[in-house]
């Protein structure tokens, strides 16, 4: 599976390329986990994950989601703000493990669908962008 890798405090995040429409540089300051501008919903992954000291450098435009306000299809609606995308790589299926069900009770575990253990002992969490946005949509429509 092809992924983009972003480093956070204590772990690396993998974002599946098949969920990405495009990538932008992001230089603005964000102070909220979720912000709205004229046409986009910005989701700050560092703030959402409690890594507020991590500097946001890139925006990942998530592929194919409905506009929750109008119900119409619009691709550039959700932008995941993240630390610098360090590289694009391929992760083999043998290296990927499902997140244990007992971690599902934590606030953030439901946003990650897999764990990858690196040869160096590091931990990589595979973000599930579509599940993250579905959870955000549920909260916004309450």
pTM above 0.75, yes or no: yes
- pLDDT confidence of residue 105: 46
Distances, alpha carbon 18 to alpha carbons 101, 124, 130, in Å: 25, 18, 11
- pLDDT confidence of residue 67: 54
Mean pLDDT of successive 10-residue segments in the chain (142 residues)?
Answer: 92 92 89 84 91 91 66 66 94 77 56 78 85 79 68
Q: How far apart are CA 105 and CA 96, in angstroms?
A: 21
Please report, for the chain, how many H helices and E strands are present, in that order: 2, 11
Answer for the pair 61, 23: CB distance below 8 angstroms, yes or no. Answer: yes
CA 71 from chain centre, in angstroms, equals 22
- Domain locations in the chain? 2-140
Query: Which are the contacts of 24, defined by CB distance < 8 A and separation ≥ 6?
Result: 58, 59, 61, 79
């Amino acid at each position: 599976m092809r992924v983009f890798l972003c480093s956070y405090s204590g772990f690396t995040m993998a974002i599946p390329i098949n969920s990405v429409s495009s990538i932008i540089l992001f230089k603005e300051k964000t102070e909220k986990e979720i912000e709205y501008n004229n046409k986009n919903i910005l989701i700050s992954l560092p703030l959402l994950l409690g890594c507020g000291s991590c500097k946001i450098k890139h925006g990942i435009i998530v592929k194919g989601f409905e506009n929750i306000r109008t119900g119409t299809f619009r691709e550039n609606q959700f932008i995941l703000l993240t630390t610098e995308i360090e590289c694009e790589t391929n992760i083999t299926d043998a290296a990927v493990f499902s997140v244990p069900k007992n971690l599902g009770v934590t606030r953030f575990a439901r946003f990650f669908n897999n764990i990858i253990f690196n040869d160096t002992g590091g931990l990589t969490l595979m973000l599930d962008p579509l599940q993250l946005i579905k959870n955000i949509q549920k909260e916004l429509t309450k």
